[in-house]
């Protein structure tokens, strides 16, 4: 749990509060769905803030696939969940997002809690569009996107990567992919992140869009 404590200690309070608020919003959205016999794909499970929050809500016959390219984060999350009861059906996969070894048209619900946004720091392609063959036609999306209100002249986000951090681009992509809609939410502007959320610089403001 030291990993979690360190993250909390090193991250701005307003940023943490927004993360908690959006996490609760996503949890409410997820538990309104029928999760029985469903396959849930979590793109970028990280330290498992979302999964740990909804773990007990998952039915026994639901398969939750947590994907991350950081093996240490997956091992940490697996260890944390191993101490939880009752046991749930969680599959941990360490892989790049474009190489997830699951069948096409198999995903009922995709959890994208900043997975696409993190991918967009290094890629121009919109991740959900790249993974669309994996999703069933009636797939639900539970998502959170990091968006920029503005970019500074010394921004860490180079021009070719900026489009995926704008609301117009994200909403257009979601509409084109025709995900089942439940609700949407936009956060207040945030000016600071912290040691582990240092992707925006002074003068830039970000916010989150949840769908």
User: How many percent of the chain have pLDDT more than 70?
Assistant: 97
Radius of gyration of the chain (CA): 17
User: Element (H or E) spanning 140, and its range?
Assistant: strand 135-148
User: Element (H or E) spanning 197, and its range?
Assistant: none
- Residues 28, 34, 37, 41, CA torsion sign: negative
Q: What's 136's domain CATH number? A: 3.40.50.150
pLDDT band at 20 (very low <50, low <70, confident <90, very high): confident
Is residue 206 within 8 A of residue 149, CB to CB? The reply is yes
Please give the model's pTM, rounded to 2 decimal places.
0.89
pLDDT of residue 189: 87
Total domains, the chain: 1
pLDDT band at 195 (very low <50, low <70, confident <90, very high): low
pLDDT of residue 202: 84
What domain range includes position 77?
2-210
Does residue 43 register a pLDDT over 80? yes
Does residue 107 register a pLDDT over 90? yes
- If one compares 83 and 15, the residue with the highest pLDDT of the two is 83
In Å, how far from its chain's centre is CA 127?
11
């Amino acid at each position: 749990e030291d990993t979690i404590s360190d993250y909390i200690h090193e991250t701005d309070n307003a940023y943490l509060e927004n993360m908690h608020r959006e996490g609760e919003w996503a949890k409410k959205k997820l538990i309104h769905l029928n999760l029985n016999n469903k396959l849930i794909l979590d793109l970028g499970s990280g330290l498992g803030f979302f999964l740990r929050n909804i773990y007990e809500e998952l039915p026994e016959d639901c398969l939750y696939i947590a994907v991350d390219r950081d093996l240490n984060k997956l091992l940490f999350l697996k260890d944390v969940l191993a101490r939880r009861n009752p046991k749930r059906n969680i599959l941990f996969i360490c892989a790049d997002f474009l190489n997830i070894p699951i069948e096409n048209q198999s995903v009922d619900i995709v959890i994208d809690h900043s997975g696409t946004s993190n991918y967009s720091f290094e890629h121009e392609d919109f991740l959900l569009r790249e993974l669309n063959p994996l999703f069933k036609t009636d797939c639900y999306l539970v998502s959170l996107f990091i968006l920029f209100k503005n970019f500074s002249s010394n921004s860490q986000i180079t021009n070719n990567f900026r489009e995926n951090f704008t609301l117009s681009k994200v909403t257009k992509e979601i509409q084109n992919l025709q995900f089942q809609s439940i609700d949407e939410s936009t956060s207040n502007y945030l000016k600071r992140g912290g040691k582990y959320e240092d992707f925006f610089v002074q003068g830039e403001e970000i916010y989150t869009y949840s769908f």
